[in-house]
């Protein structure tokens, strides 16, 4: 089973040429720089410590346009990799937004071989709190934080968006007086409902005990329904969720498209501002000018 998982994940590459978060094969530094060049006026602050967990420093990278006449809206990029691989150092589609006046934070978090869920969302929320606490220092607008991620990263940003104020998912790292809420979410083909991910056709056996989801929670999904529900963004949907943009390839056979349909319907029923964009013909990974333009328009609407 795991050989099958790795074969699928290694083969996933964005149309843009970026190896998106789901992939296990990571680019070297030269490849990353070639694929995600920073504008010359952007400052990169690497390995900023946002907290400690499992006995080590938790790190993020912050990319800041140097010429800004007002506090910057911030894109918080959460990488994917089936919660088993990937890194904050991976190239991302978010970095190009620094040319449009956005700051970008790329967040590292504990993978499932190091710590089971909810460690991953604890780390992401700790990063948001740290960024809130340091907003003035880095000229960030604390009211304009958007979380964006793909695949496992899409799952985590969706969870950030739906679980604001859920105490058991906050963790206890750094200043809990700061908010971990974000003001918008861009979810690219993320998992949303662990209890039903095995219902749709997929190239992965999601309910198997060695699936990425089962490894994340520490047991087979349907034998650990409480844990599976706790890890599902759909569990926490309320009218208080921020605006969501959900994009998903309609030929995705790794994370079924139905996962995004389920989250969309639940958010819509709760009265949340949500848009679902099926990416025609795309599998588990996509990119290109049209996809980026869709995100740009969504952010303009959210952060007028």
Mean pLDDT rounded to a whole number for the chain: 89
Packing angle, helices 152-162 and 119-133, rounded to 10:
60
b/e string for 270-300 if b means 16 or more Cβ within 10 A? eebebbbbbbeebbbbbbeeebeebbeebbe
Q: How does pLDDT run across 2-42, given as a tens digit for each residue?
A: 444 443 443 333 333 333 333 322 333 333 333 456 778 99
Question: What is the bridge-based pairing of β-strands 140-150 and 244-249?
Answer: unpaired
More confident position, 56 or 38: 56
Q: Which pLDDT score is estimated for 23?
A: 32
Q: How does pLDDT run across 192-231, given as a tens digit for each residue?
A: 999 999 999 999 999 999 999 999 999 999 999 999 999 9
CA distance linking residue 53 with residue 74, whole number of Å: 24
Contacts of 52 (CB under 8 A, 6+ apart): 58, 173
- Residue 8 burial (C-beta neighbours within 10 Å; 0-12, 13-18, 19+): buried
Q: Which pLDDT score is estimated for 37?
A: 66
**Lowest-pLDDT range, 21-25, 157-161, 242-246?**
21-25
Residue among 229, 224, 93, 89 nearest 154 (CA): 93
Q: Which pLDDT score is estimated for 39?
A: 78
CA distance linking residue 68 with residue 174, whole number of Å: 28
Decide if pLDDT at 75 tops 80: yes
Q: Which pLDDT score is estimated for 36?
A: 54
* Phi and psi torsions of 121, nearest 5°: -75, -30
- Domains of the chain are 2-302 (3.40.50.1820)
Of all residues in the chain, the percent with pLDDT exceeding 90 is 82
Decide if pLDDT at 298 tops 80: yes
pTM: 0.90
Q: Which pLDDT score is estimated for 26?
A: 32
- Alpha carbon 60 to its chain's center: 14
- Residue 83 burial (C-beta neighbours within 10 Å; 0-12, 13-18, 19+): buried
Q: How confident is the model at residue 154 (pLDDT cuts 50, 70, 90)?
A: very high
In the structure encoding, which two tokens stand for residue 127, read together?
A: 């990063």
Of all residues in the chain, the percent with pLDDT exceeding 70 is 88
CA distance linking residue 92 with residue 36, whole number of Å: 7
Spatial contact of 79 and 110, defined as CB atoms under 8 Å apart: no
């Amino acid at each position: 089973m795991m050989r099958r998982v790795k074969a699928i994940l290694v083969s996933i590459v964005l149309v843009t040429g970026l190896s998106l978060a789901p992939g296990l094969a990571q680019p070297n530094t030269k490849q990353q720089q070639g694929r995600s060049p920073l504008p010359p006026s952007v400052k990169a602050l690497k390995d900023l410590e946002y907290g400690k967990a499992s006995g080590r420093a938790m790190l993020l990278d912050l990319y800041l346009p140097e010429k800004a006449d007002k506090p910057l809206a911030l894109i918080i990029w959460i990488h994917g990799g089936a919660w088993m691989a990937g890194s904050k150092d991976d190239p991302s589609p978010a970095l190009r937004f620094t040319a449009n006046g956005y700051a970008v934070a790329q967040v590292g978090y504990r993978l499932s071989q190091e710590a089971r869920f909810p460690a991953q969302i604890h780390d992401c929320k700790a990063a948001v709190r740290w960024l809130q606490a340091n907003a003035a220092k880095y000229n960030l607008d604390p009211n304009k934080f958007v979380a964006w991620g793909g695949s496992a990263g899409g799952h985590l940003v969706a969870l950030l968006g739906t679980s604001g104020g859920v105490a058991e998912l906050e963790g206890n790292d750094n200043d809990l007086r700061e908010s971990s809420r974000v003001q918008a979410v861009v979810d690219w083909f993320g998992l949303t409902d662990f209890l039903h991910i095995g219902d749709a056709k997929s190239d992965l056996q999601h309910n198997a005990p060695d699936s990425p989801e089962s490894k994340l929670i520490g047991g087979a999904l349907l034998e650990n329904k409480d844990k599976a529900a706790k890890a599902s963004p759909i569990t926490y949907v309320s009218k208080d969720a921020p605006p969501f943009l959900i994009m998903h390839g309609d030929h995705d056979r790794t994370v079924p498209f139905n996962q995004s349909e389920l989250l969309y319907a639940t958010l819509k029923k709760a009265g949340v501002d949500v848009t679902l964009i099926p990416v025609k013909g795309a599998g588990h990974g996509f990119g290109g000018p049209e996809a980026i333009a869709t995100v740009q328009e969504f952010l303009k609407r959210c952060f007028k």
